[in-house]
A and B are shown apart, each in its own frame.
Chain A
Amino acid sequence: MRIHSITLTNFRQFSGMQTFELQSNSLKPVSLIFGANGAGKTTLLNAFTWALYGTMSEDVEEQDRMVTDSVWRALPIGGSTEVAVELRFDHEGYDYRLRRHAEARKQSDEQQKPSAEVQLWQTMADGSSETITAPQERIYSILPSRVSRFFFFNGERIEKLVQKGAYSEVQQDIKALLDLEQVERAIDHLPKVDRRLTADLKKHGGERASEIQTAIDDLRDRQTSSRDELKVLEGDLATLAEERDSVVELLRQHAGAAPIQKERDRVATDLADARTQRAAAILERASLVATRGFLAFTDELATKTAEMAAALYQKGALPAPLKREFVDQLLEDGQCICGTQLDDGTQAWHQVTEWRQRAGLQMVETAWQQLSGQITQLSGARQELHDSLQAAVKRISTERERVTRLEETMSELDGQLNDPRREDVQQLESKRRDLEARIGVKRERRGAVRAALEQIQREIEQKTAERSKAEVKDELAAKARARSDLVQSVRRALEEILAIRKEEMRDRLDAKLKDVFGKITIKPYIPRLSKDFELALYQDVNGVELAVPKSTGENQILSLSFVAAVSELAREIRAERRAEGEPPDDAGTYPIVMDAAFGSLDQNYQREVSRVLAQMAPQLVVFVSKSQGLGHVVGELTPYVSHLGVIVTHTTSTSDASEDIELEGVAYPYIRSLAEADHAELKVIK
């Protein structure tokens, strides 16, 4: 299948009729179409699948709005308009024109999904055109819709192709592409044919032949039920293996949790310490306030006391036990303060004189010194209290901040550890063991069923040999026997062919995938396709092969490599002479039409992917934005480009959003604002 052109009529944002030529050759297989975000690249991709299958991908929103909004708005109620996509392509020697269209009748402003019809015309060798009566059937036979995922895809979603859980579907699709599925199905269907044929043999073949045929039929029944059981077992084993793998992954994550747990333990110790330190600092502050807090209020008191004491000292009126001058004055005056005469030698005089001995200036001085000292000490103690309080407050603040920080860290670590995916390791381990045990039991049963099937097959062959020798007089029965022998021979041959093809296809696809992936990736990873076509990525670590957990980007590269490898292999094998007969020239040829293929890729990968796809795909249609496409992508693709275009965004926005795109040295409109209606224009550059 090689696409020649696509024509859109009022399809989504593509108003009116717009055509883009895509016919290319093996030297220049690439068509490159630029478009801004929202311009219509995804719509254009979906135009292909809508034309082929009448479906659009899930990422297309508002799927009922098939007709361009402005066209719909301009349509009067009761009026109708056409929405259509036409594809011209050739396939296996014939040219085709495919047209899916719908007549959309306006009953309200809301669009209802119109019912579309598909038509297909085939151009014959003499140039005449023939309408295909079962167009959808023919399209499916040209490219089955499920296989189309390899050829019409959104690059940002392509990584799903190689994700776990997608294998069974992908495996079937690969088998279909690589000519394995038709062999498998033939092997399944031929026993029913044989049963119908041998009915005549049983009926008219005589006693012996009938008896042998009955035995063969019984064996066939056993064979069918054993095969069914084998299929169920294979399915169960695949499910259990997938479950086991996810448990192993959880265990790996658990191993990954060990350093988190260690960190959490350290943080927990630090947090406990910080909380203790904070409590101690708070207690210290409380103790300071309780025992020495009064000092905070002694600033004025100390000053005033000092001033007052100084004044009293100056006056000599400091309260001392007794002032000597005072006593001398009393003795000189000859009278005590109580009025008693102090005559020399009297008892009163002796008493006062005795006081004089006890009083003196020295004592006053001492009292002054004591008071001064106490006032100074008070001030110092106050300063000390201030400093101590400040230090305590600072420590409280520091410890509080530390506690908050550690609590946050702890919460973060708890979040990581409490991830629901991280189940208890013991629980996980026992689950893994249980799954391994169940897998073991199923495998044993599978082995037994396989052995039984081999035995049944031998018995069938033996009985068939006996049947050949049995005398059959009836002509109809003899014919039935000959036909049955023919069918059985073909079936045996198909079984052998299937085994040969499976092994060969796997080996070739594996080798091709390794080759393509190796050309793109800069990492030492090796992709491998298992016996059952399951894809995995490995890394050689000191001679040991370890599975690599893939990132989105790696999945995308792996998927693109896979697509390129499958595409090339499908082409190669169809070109070889096989049991199906002489192939047409373009057998197995399909275009690759892709949107946003470089979204998650670094620039170096963009370059390599562009180059590999351009070299490997027989026809490549790429939709890219300016930011994705200019630079490495254009640089790599330019030598292979036969058609270049831009989806010009016309927007009603009044802000100056207009933008140009420079291609091959010429500026072309990319976004145009102030349009009368929002729409997309498919502009052909070359």
Chain B
Amino acid sequence: MNQEAIKERLVSAFGAEVIQGAVLFADQMAVTVVKDKILDVCRFLKTDPDLAFDLLSFVGGVDRHPASPRFEVVYQLYSMRHKHRFRIKAMVEEEQEGLGTIDSVVELWPTASWHERETAEMFGIEFTGHPDPRKLLLPEEWYVYPLRKDFPVEGTEDTPDLPAAQIREG
């Protein structure tokens, strides 16, 4: 199936109000999906026999600061059976209190676990329903989100070399 046909299939299944935007660039389609429907759309992409996206290549995030909604979560899919690829996005709003949330897709593709953990700790996006929501790469006691555009790349006093409990007294 080519990219346009996959998109048409999604629109006919979910309607234009769920499958919002579609950008074709370099023969690759990226469709934007309503955040609350991400799990339904992913389940359809995986289980529909003509699509059969059985491999989740990647989950990542984008910070569009200062645009609103601020964050994108990007899912890169591949079908081993049909040898076609597809890319879907969901926009996540920055919340005034707490973190922006989106449903986890670990129940569909277990490989999403580490990708979502990294996206969560780097951008401050909460993946609801994730079975193991610990940090993946950053120290457990950090509460900063380093891949946000407004984070200073050289770090802050919130990114110490050692955990406070291990800093030696002089």
Partners in one complex: no
| Chain A residues in the interface with B (C-beta under 8 A) | none
| Chain B residues in the interface with A (C-beta under 8 A) | none
